Amino acid sequence: MPVADEVRVWRLRARGFAIGGALCLALICLLKIVDPTEFAKNLIGPLVLVFVFLWLSGLYCTHRYWKDFSEDEIRRGGSKKTAREKWHLLHPPPD
């Protein structure tokens, strides 16, 4: 698989885990607010574990995305500095 395709795959995975984590967190909050029954309380624990798993997986995928992105930029004749600058253009840090 070409490097550019690997970059896209890791970006897609990172986004997927981010969306899954956001949905899981929303479900946890919704269960805490709307349904205070014992069933909901028993369901929150496993959902928190799923959320933590999704968060850690998302961190790993983001790390691999950055690594492949940086390697691809270096192969195209750039440097670590230009890769970092291009990364911040594509993904600006929060203010």
Q: How buried is residue 10: exposed, middle or buried, by Cβ count under 10 Å (0-12/13-18/19+)?
A: buried
Residues 51, 28: Cα–Cα separation, whole Å = 9
What share of the chain in percent tops pLDDT 70?
95
- Average pLDDT of the chain is 86
What does the pLDDT look like over 22-65, one tens digit per residue? 999 998 888 888 877 777 778 888 888 999 999 999 999 989 98
Q: What is the pLDDT of residue 16?
A: 92
Of residues 92 and 73, more confidently modeled: 73
Which residue in this structure is represented by tokens 């850690």? Answer: 56
Tell me how far the alpha carbon of residue 1 is from its chain's centroid: 22
Return the CA Rg of the chain: 18
Q: Is the pTM higher than 0.85?
A: no
The residues spanned by each domain of the chain are: 3-90
